[in-house]
Amino acid sequence: MTKLFLRLRRPALGLLTAAMLGLCGLVGAAAPAGAMVIDPSLPDPAAEARAIELSKGLRCLVCQNQSIEDSNAELARDLRRIVRERIAAGDDNETVKAYLVARYGDWVLLKPPFKGLTLILWLAPVALLTGALALAGTVYRRRPEAVAPVPLSPDEQARVASLTHDPAASGPTKS
């Protein structure tokens, strides 16, 4: 009976498998490729290398911890375009950075300068680590010291021995 059932079901399984594979193929073909959009490069290879190097030091304001060179966000593409336009216009690297800092603030730089406004960015990790170490030291010093256990009296030892029925604890036995 089982062999007959399997024999009858095999063509249906083959048809079902073919239908599922076809459906997967259609879904896969309809899905977007998700490829990175390639920015138009500058005609001068040296200027393009400068643009790429400069873009590696600028923060993507959407991704926040990624350079605009590595990011696929639209804002990062716009910033890469601005960098290339400014370099094509003849600006040097510092002028391009100053232009972007004037528009977006020091946050656009992956390595912000050490000045009064960015002092907290540079000192906060050190302050947090120092505070955590001070707190750990305080907790460690305030913990109670371990108290040595008081040994049992002979009466308490006899009581424990009687409760546990340990013949070795109650003394030698006569055989």
Tell me if 136 is assigned to some domain.
Answer: no
- Judge whether 67 and 110 are in contact, CB under 8 Å: yes
Ranked by mean pLDDT, which of 35-39, 100-104, 141-145 comes out on top? 100-104
In a domain? residue 67:
yes
Whether residue 26 is contained in a domain is answered as no
DSSP-derived secondary structure for 76-93? HHHHHHHHHHHHHTT--H
Tell me whether residue 7 is in a domain: no
**CATH classification at residue 61:** 1.10.8.640
Secondary structure letter of residue 70 according to DSSP: T
Per the structure, the count of domains in the chain is 1
Has residue 164 been placed in a domain? no
The confidence band for 12, taking pLDDT boundaries of 50, 70 and 90, is low
Residue 72 lies in a domain: yes
pLDDT of residue 174: 52
Model confidence, pTM? 0.50
Contact between residue 58 and residue 108 where contact means Cβ atoms under 8 Å apart? yes
Domain membership of residue 19 (yes or no) is no
Radius of gyration of the chain (CA): 37
Q: Please classify residue 147 by burial: count the beta carbons closer than 10 Å to its beta carbon, then call 0-12 exposed, 13-18 middle and 19+ buried.
A: exposed
Q: Is the pLDDT of residue 33 over 50?
A: no
103 has a pLDDT exceeding 70: yes
Q: Tens of pLDDT along 121-164?
A: 778 889 999 999 999 999 988 888 888 889 999 999 999 888 98
Residue 106 lies in a domain: yes
Q: Please give the pLDDT value at position 43.
A: 82
For the cut 80, the answer to whether the pLDDT of residue 11 exceeds it is no
Q: Which domain holds residue 107?
A: 45-116
Local structure of residue 60 (DSSP, 8 states) = -
d(CA 22, CA 80): 41
Rounded mean pLDDT of 1-10? Answer: 52
